[in-house]
Structure 1
Amino acid sequence: MKPLEEFARNRSRKSGVSTYCKPCHAAVCAENRARNHGSARNYRLKLRYGITEQQADRLLAAQGGMCVICLRAPASHVDHDHDTGLVRGMLCFKCNNGLGQFGDEVWRLEEAADYLEGRSSHSRSLWLEFDTPTIPGRSRRHLETLRGVRRASGLGSLRHYKLRERYGLTEAEADALAEIQGGLCAVCGDREPEHIDHCHESQAVRGALCVGCNSGMGLLGDDAGTLRRAAAYLDGSLVTAVPVAGGGTRLSFTVPDVDPASVGGDGWERVRGEDVRHRKALRDAAWEAEWCFGGPFADPFARAVVDGFAMGGAGGGVHGMRWARGEQ
């Protein structure tokens, strides 16, 4: 005998409560899942993603156990396309959530990578205004002149205090930065810029971002290489199936191509470094061609930016799903 509040609800019964109390109900459901599906994990995978536990393990092994985007953390989450329902691959927690913060939009990830490397339209605006793609201390004083105010003291509103404490900006300077951006996020240009973004190493302010872009970049480590790999992952060019000697295929997700099974625990950082350098070189070449050498937006300032970087300044999912199912 137990009080009614200790029983689960069941609308199909006249009494409105389940035959089992809540602990027993949970135990019976777990037993049924284990009997019908083998394990609770297998049940959840089939329910959410349409794959079995064995298929998920095969896909994880084909990736060498690593997240295919960052190549720095073990893959623990199944990622799928919310439109088609197809599994795209296995990711770590941060990369999986980072994609969600960017709305699974390739262009936003690419814009974020350009933003971090000082190549975006926002970076161009800062170059024209401050002769630098970020806002260090001297540039902050210039922000004050745009607002026509003197630098405020340490006293003021709570927002003023937090801005001074975290980023070295006053309220007037933060508002001036938002005005330069047209009142929109410096990355996506779609939403209100609610957060000041800064480099955690130099402490220089880079811009004002919306919640999604700010959180997404943080989850992906404020790393342009990871953002570009994430964009390639979403557009289907990162993960491919390549033939192997003796027949069959394996997954490939690095440039130059490396067999995931041949990479040891510490070897992924080297493989990742080569891949990121390759993708950056391709982006450098494309950006130079567009901005510096007769492109529609050719500009002398861009040549200086490129030189600064040279000196050290600032579908694949379908393949993964078919591979897991043994179709490739």
Structure 2
Amino acid sequence: MNKTCKTCGETKPLEAFYKKADCLHGRTTNCIDCHKVTRKAQYWADPERYRAYSSTWIRENPEKAKRMSRAAMLKYKYGLSLDEYEAMVEEQEGRCLICRTRADLVVDHCHERGHLRGLICQPCNVGLGSFRDDPVVMRRAAAFIELTQDGPAPLEWAEMEVGSS
């Protein structure tokens, strides 16, 4: 289904209009492109008014503002919607994929290829970064911890090979 924008006069698919329940077809009268241009012009006509309104709204709606900010960050950084993130948290039962503790979970992603690996807790995320996401270094660290449970490591340990698989 198509709709004609009241501003530019172009006929566009409904997806080119913001959703708005009280409008015809549940969409705004101006297309998204025209709406953005109009809002930007309104902002620059009186930016202080918009900043004041924004500050007041955030102060009066802290939880909603936090949720919206989180949603925007997830979409911008990872291409994830807040619903997708929350579904991942639920699927993982709120547990870190590495240590299995219940915690606030962060999105872990491969820095080289950019793909998402899953949700992990902040300490595990920092740990992966500290080991430069290198499985060989992580295995050596695990072997080191196991070896030194009862005392310091022998000096020759630094030269020993640790399994690579």
Structure 2 length normalisation: TM-score?
0.52
Residue 79 of structure 1 and its aligned partner are, at CA, apart by 1.1
Contact 1:68-1:91 at 8 Å conserved across structures? yes
Number of the residue aligned with 2:151: 134
Number of the residue aligned with 2:81: 52
Aligned residue type for 2:118:
G
**1:91 & 1:83 partners in 2: Cα distance?**
18
Q: SS where residue 117 of structure 2 aligns?
A: strand
> Aligned ranges for residues 85-124 of structure 1 at < 5 Å?
85-118=114-147
Aligned residue type for 2:55:
A
RMSD: 3.7
Residue 42 of structure 1 and its aligned partner are, at CA, apart by 1.0
51, 55, 59: which is aligned to 1:27? 55
Contact 1:60-1:75 at 8 Å conserved across structures? no
Unpaired segments ≥5 residues, structure 1 = 1-17, 31-37, 124-132, 137-176, 188-285, 287-328
Residue 22 of structure 1 and its aligned partner are, at CA, apart by 10
Matched, 1:65 2:94: yes
Change (3 A) 1:42 1:108: same
Q: SS where residue 66 of structure 1 aligns?
A: coil
**1:96 & 1:62 partners in 2: Cα distance?**
19
Residue 72 of structure 1 and its aligned partner are, at CA, apart by 2.0
1:237-267 CA-partner distances (Å, limit 9, x unpaired): xxxxxxxxxxxxxxxxxxxxxxxxxxxxxxx
Aligned residue type for 1:109:
M
Number of the residue aligned with 2:113: 84
Residue 24 of structure 1 and its aligned partner are, at CA, apart by 3.0
Aligned residue type for 1:73:
R
Number of the residue aligned with 1:74: 103
Residue 76 of structure 1 and its aligned partner are, at CA, apart by 1.9
**2:124 & 2:54 partners in 1: Cα distance?**
32
Q: SS where residue 43 of structure 1 aligns?
A: helix
Aligned residue type for 2:101:
R
**2:138 & 2:128 partners in 1: Cα distance?**
8
Aligned residue type for 2:151:
T
Change (3 A) 1:107 1:39: same
Residue 19 of structure 1 and its aligned partner are, at CA, apart by 3.6
Q: Tell me: higher relative CO, structure 1 or 2? Use CA pairs within 8 A at least 6 residues apart.
A: 1
Aligned residue type for 2:103:
P
Change (3 A) 1:80 1:116: same
Structure 1 length normalisation: TM-score?
0.28
**1:112 & 1:59 partners in 2: Cα distance?**
29
Aligned residue type for 1:104:
D
Unpaired segments ≥5 residues, structure 2 = 1-45, 59-66
Residue 25 of structure 1 and its aligned partner are, at CA, apart by 8.3
Residue 23 of structure 1 and its aligned partner are, at CA, apart by 5.5
Aligned residue type for 2:106:
H
Residue 58 of structure 1 and its aligned partner are, at CA, apart by 0.8
**1:85 & 1:21 partners in 2: Cα distance?**
39
Q: State the aligned residue count.
A: 106
Greater percentage in strand: 2
Aligned residue type for 2:119:
M
Change (3 A) 1:21 1:82: farther
Residue 84 of structure 1 and its aligned partner are, at CA, apart by 1.9
